[in-house]
A and B are shown apart, each in its own frame.
Chain A
């Protein structure tokens, strides 16, 4: 199994952004998806540095793809999405708007924000040119196994969410702006102070979600660290690591060791818990009763 680094969902300064991808060039990962996933207002801050980052990652032997936006509504977003299809790079479709611009037969990959829940959808996307599909994090292991089997018949590689705060929802409304009493069109980049999202707690002060502009993430970091063997057995081709602002080099090394067999689930989980924002892991979507559950915490 390989590792893919998904697009950075957060708003970082251009310098932080660049240094993240500079370091990633040295990380033991096979693929990197970059570009703007969450908010079109963020892209201009680092767009000029994108080509160099792509070049550097490619030179370091990584396969590189560019993501579409997760929700395309505004004219400038439609234009950017159309241009993405013409850029010539591999496109990761995270909103079907992007697919509408890709010529019939052109290869593409499908990101976790496209609803691929069943064999029929997988088959349709494969016929349309999908070569790799990262499944929605919500799917239970049984569905992953069924889809991985179906994908093999279509020559499609299946990827599963391995690590990162889970993308739970996308909205037309910006919650960061709302929290600061602003409208989205005049947000003054309220999200820039939260490089891993802003933790949202319940009234009992339990960490629950994380807001990230128009996106809502889980507070806990989704981690498939205990399901690696099951996913390998199912024929899953790669695991997706979603960026976090601190310690991501170490996260990549731990995952590399875990996949290579140099670390068991428990050791890797312990090491990752110390690194993730909020310090909590969850894997309930794959094997629990609900997303927020963590298999290591469940009774045997």
Chain B
């Protein structure tokens, strides 16, 4: 089985770019708080979603719709409508995280394939099988806390397909279980689909040094000429005791291209590229590189790597939790 490349699209233009660059599958979301990349200027209207799905299907690609925030009490109908509209648009699956929404989708949209979002943080075979049993979940996006050998062990114990992140931004916290952003800004991935939202970010250039503040907290200061990071809390510079530095995570992003053979051997079904907030230029380059890599892998050739460094945060990459020493 060829591993499926699952690519991000923040806009219809990015979706078309990804399809034309060879993506097997695209994931995207509606332009509201129902998805975890609810950023200014991004995402799909209902019409754009239907057109995007039609375009992808015409080119033999699939579309997954992420509805992976946690519905707000008293406003669940917004999320229920998103599931219904994804089905109406012809989506191949929805990516969900919330128990109540999973139950709703399983009951009211039984024919719509359900994937479990990384936001559900199902990190072992017991939890994954539980979602499979209770809600008919067919695929799980694994949290970025597992090593390759742990992923292999999970696949040996479950019939639910696994999808893992191979490239892009890296959450250091278990996703769906982090309120750092709402602590500082009032808006969080779980509730609002945003982390460290741009509306609360301020940059200041002082003598060549770039300071970034989030909600008034200074979370970074980089000298002139040094790479700038995203103003994400968990990648900020902090002090503890006498230490100062990136106490949680360095401003790096994930590049597990070199681990693709190991991930295939671990039984992984799909490889996911992060970056619905990135441009179509990024999507095109990354998708082409990863499609070439899976094709090389399939043909028994060596997988090229390191081609995408300049697109990455800090110009630096990590293999993250896939190697145990990261912990």
Contact = CB atoms under 8 A, between A and B. Distances in A.
Given A73-B146, A101-B126, A179-B240, A171 B174 contact: yes
B183 A205 contact: no
B76 interface: yes
Interface in B115-155: 121-127, 129-130, 143-146, 150, 153
A204 B218 contact: yes
B251 interface: no
A178 B146 CA distance: 17
B177 A113 contact: yes
Given A137-B179, A169-B179, A292-B184, A99 B130 contact: yes
Given A78-B126, A120-B103, A289-B186, A169 B180 contact: yes
Contact of B145 (A171, A185, A218, A292): A171
B238 A208 contact: yes
A206 B236 CA distance: 14
A78 B123 CA distance: 10
Interface string A130-151: 0000001111001100110010
A162 to B, nearest CB: 17
Given A120-B76, A120-B101, A120-B104, A170 B248 contact: no
Contacts of A146: 73-74
B130 A96 contact: yes
A115 B99 CA distance: 8
Contacts of A121: 70, 98-101
Interface stretch (A16-24, A195-203, A223-231, A239-247): A195-203
B239 A200 contact: yes
Given A101-B126, A173-B321, A200-B238, A115 B98 contact: yes
B126 A179 contact: no
A204 B98 contact: no
Contact of A117 (B70, B215, B241, B321): B70
Interface in A94-112: 95-97, 99-101
A234 to B, nearest CB: 12
B73 A200 contact: no
Contact of A147 (B73, B75, B127, B191): B73
A34 interface: no
Given A78-B126, A118-B72, A138-B179, A203 B219 contact: yes
B297 interface: no
A172 interface: yes
22 contacts: A72-B124, A73-B145, A101-B126, A115-B99, A117-B71, A118-B70, A120-B98, A121-B101, A168-B180, A169-B180, A171-B173, A172-B143, A173-B321, A175-B248, A179-B243, A183-B327, A200-B238, A200-B240, A201-B240, A204-B217, A211-B247, A216-B173
Which 10 pairs from chain A and chain B are nearest by CB?
A: A120-B100, A172-B145, A290-B186, A121-B100, A100-B130, A291-B183, A184-B327, A117-B70, A146-B73, A169-B173
